[in-house]
């Protein structure tokens, strides 16, 4: 994994340097290892910051997921989800146009899809689906992996 070149003191990007992941946790980072169906590894990234979306795509690929789309708007997210039928979504609450929260509500209206909200904002004032997992930016790679495990229901030892 490439190291994050941005200044993490700005708060714009998570600090995702590999040294932040203990060796004991690295083996458990493949959160999809219990799944034998490669279609269950499709993840949709809904993120308005291009660099953050790229970092997430790289991390998720390293974790064993296939990124089926990256969208920066609510309408794009809804359309891509309908077309690609992801089994997991990583969602920023604030999008370029629209809301990640509204996009999630629309997408999961008929069928629930596990999802993790990643946001620099405090989401405690928002009404989220009770099955949603929220992760505050900046976060560590291990924290993202843990949030994904919670969202998809894998119990961590």
- E-assigned strands of 30-156? 42-46, 66-71, 88-91, 115-119, 133-136
Query: Please, what's the b/e burial string for 75-111 (b: 16 or more CB within 10 A of its CB; e: otherwise)?
Result: ebbbebbeeeebbbbbbbbebeebbbbebbebbbeee
Global pTM value: 0.73
* Phi and psi angles of residue 94, each rounded to the nearest 5 degrees, phi first: -105, 120
DSSP, res 27: T
pLDDT of residue 14: 43
Between residues 64 and 154, the one the model is more confident about: 64
* pLDDT tens profile 106-146: 999 989 999 998 887 666 666 677 788 888 888 899 999 99
Which domains, ranges and CATH numbers included, belong to the chain? 31-152 (3.40.50.2300)
53 pLDDT above the threshold of 70: yes
């Amino acid at each position: 994994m490439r190291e994050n070149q941005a200044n993490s003191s700005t708060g714009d990007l998570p600090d995702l340097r590999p040294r932040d992941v203990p060796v004991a946790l690295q083996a458990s980072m493949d959160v999809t290892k219990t799944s034998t169906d490669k279609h269950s590894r499709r993840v949709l990234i809904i993120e308005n910051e291009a660099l953050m979306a790229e970092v997430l795509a790289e991390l998720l690929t390293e974790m064993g997921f296939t990124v089926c789309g990256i969208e920066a708007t609510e309408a794009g997210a809804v359309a891509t989800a309908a077309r690609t039928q992801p089994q997991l979504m990583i969602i920023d609450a604030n999008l370029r146009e629209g809301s990640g929260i509204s996009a999630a509500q629309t997408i999961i209206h008929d069928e629930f899809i596990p999802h993790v909200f990643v946001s620099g904002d405090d989401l405690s004032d928002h009404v989220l689906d009770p099955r949603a997992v929220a992760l505050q930016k900046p976060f560590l790679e291990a924290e993202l992996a843990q949030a994904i495990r919670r969202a998809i229901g894998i119990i961590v030892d």
